[in-house]
């Protein structure tokens, strides 16, 4: 039986499996693309042949193990990033196993490779003074600074993901009564996020200045194009650094757009919003995902500790204040 070469199966995986069968999102395809671009270059250098001439048998469990070690030690990826790379590789070899039984044993060895355990750190977030300092960092004297201030305000008030912010169009923002942002989040889940008054006023002012069409990006570049994820991350880092003068606690703090998303969730939690509502607000698949914020909120733990009776305090006991109540207690 003639089996297709590695390159043929590889291309079919991206076109048929991801593109047609799964209808994977552009972000998912881009993540898989980056993983396999690194893997193919690593394999080509290690085996001394171009990626097109690679054979399925050569891309084995040992080569992939060496590649995963390479991304950790040479590229300095975290264990979590390593596991993400491995998940993409498993997906490809799972497809090969289903479509080419002759490679089943070869694929099973790779599919059995375990993910690496890592320390689940407490999520980073900004408190109220830090958020205020970040929002005050843009001086609002230029078009760019006013755009950036609106970006930071929307990110902190709505908790949108990076991809959701850069893909926002004016038609996604509903002004007036019941103002909200409508977006398509991770997993193609549609959701509506309410807009607070201060955010709505800033968006209305930005809309009057921008005066874009319904399909135009809300936060464009100077050329009018959609911002990239990297550009948005640079905006956040720029003003996080600038806010250190007004808020020293920001110094040395690693602030990213996802930290702003965490800050939104923590503010909701600290103001007594139920975890289920926060999960819906952020577009989480499960309420269990939202529990990371409970673990990170020290104030909630301190409140719980305050309710606990001290070890040295005398034990409390109910004592009736009336003879009739005492009679009832004696029954």
Give, in degrees to the nearest 5, the angle at Cα 231 between 198 and 74: 130
pLDDT (0 to 100) of residue 1 = 47
Fold agreement (6-111, 128-306)? no
70 is catalytic: no
Structurally, what CATH architecture does the domain formed by 6-111 represent?
Answer: Orthogonal Bundle (1.10)
Q: Which residues pair with 174 in a beta bridge?
A: 180
pLDDT (0 to 100) of residue 253 = 86
pLDDT (0 to 100) of residue 69 = 95
Q: Are 79 and 117 in contact (CB under 8 A)?
A: yes
Q: Which stretches of the chain score pLDDT less than 70?
A: 1-3, 294-321, 327, 329, 331
Catalytic residue among 106, 161, 210, 262: 161
Distances 161 to 164, 167, 267 between C-alpha atoms, Å: 5, 10, 16
Classify domain 128-306 at the CATH topology level. hpI Integrase; Chain A (1.10.443)
Q: How far apart are the first and last CA of the chain?
A: 87
Domain residue extents for the chain: 6-111, 128-306
Catalytic residue among 12, 186, 226, 237: 186
pLDDT (0 to 100) of residue 110 = 95
284 is catalytic: yes
pLDDT (0 to 100) of residue 84 = 94
In sequence order, what DSSP letters do the residues of 237-277 get, joined into one string? HHHHHHTTTT-GGGTT----HHHHHHHHHHHHHHTT--HHH
pLDDT (0 to 100) of residue 293 = 73
106 is catalytic: no
């Amino acid at each position: 039986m003639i089996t297709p070469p590695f390159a043929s199966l590889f291309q079919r995986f991206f076109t048929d499996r991801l593109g047609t069968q799964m209808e994977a999102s552009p972000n998912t395809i881009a993540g898989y693309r980056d993983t396999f671009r690194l893997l193919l270059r690593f394999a080509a250098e290690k085996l001394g042949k171009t990626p097109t001439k690679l054979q399925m048998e050569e891309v084995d469990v040992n080569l992939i193990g060496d590649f995963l070690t390479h991304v950790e030690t040479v590229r300095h990826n975290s264990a979590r990033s390593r596991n993400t790379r491995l998940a993409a590789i498993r997906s490809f070899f799972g497809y090969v196993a289903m479509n080419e039984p002759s490679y089943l044993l070869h694929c099973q060895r790779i599919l059995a490779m375990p993910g690496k355990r890592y320390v689940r750190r407490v999520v980073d977030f900004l408190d109220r003074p830090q958020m205020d300092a970040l929002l005050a960092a843009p001086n609002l004297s230029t078009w760019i600074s006013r755009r950036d201030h609106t970006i930071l305000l929307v990110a902190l008030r709505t908790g949108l993901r990076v991809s959701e912010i850069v893909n926002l169009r004016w038609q996604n923002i509903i002004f007036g009564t019941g103002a909200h942002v409508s977006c398509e989040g991770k997993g193609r889940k549609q959701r509506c996020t309410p807009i607070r008054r201060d955010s709505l006023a800033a968006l209305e002012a930005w809309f009057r200045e921008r005066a874009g069409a319904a399909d135009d990006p809300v936060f464009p570049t100077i050329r009018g194009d959609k911002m990239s994820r990297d550009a948005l991350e640079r905006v956040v880092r720029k003003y996080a650094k600038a806010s250190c003068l007004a808020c020293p606690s920001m110094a040395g703090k690693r602030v990213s757009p996802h930290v702003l998303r965490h800050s939104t969730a923590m503010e909701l939690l600290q103001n007594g919003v139920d975890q289920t509502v926060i999960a819906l607000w952020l577009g989480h698949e499960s309420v269990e995902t939202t529990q990371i914020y409970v673990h990170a909120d020290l104030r909630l733990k301190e409140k719980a500790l305050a309710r606990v009776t001290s070890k040295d305090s005398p034990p409390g006991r109910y004592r009736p204040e009336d003879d009739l109540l005492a009679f009832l207690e004696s029954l």
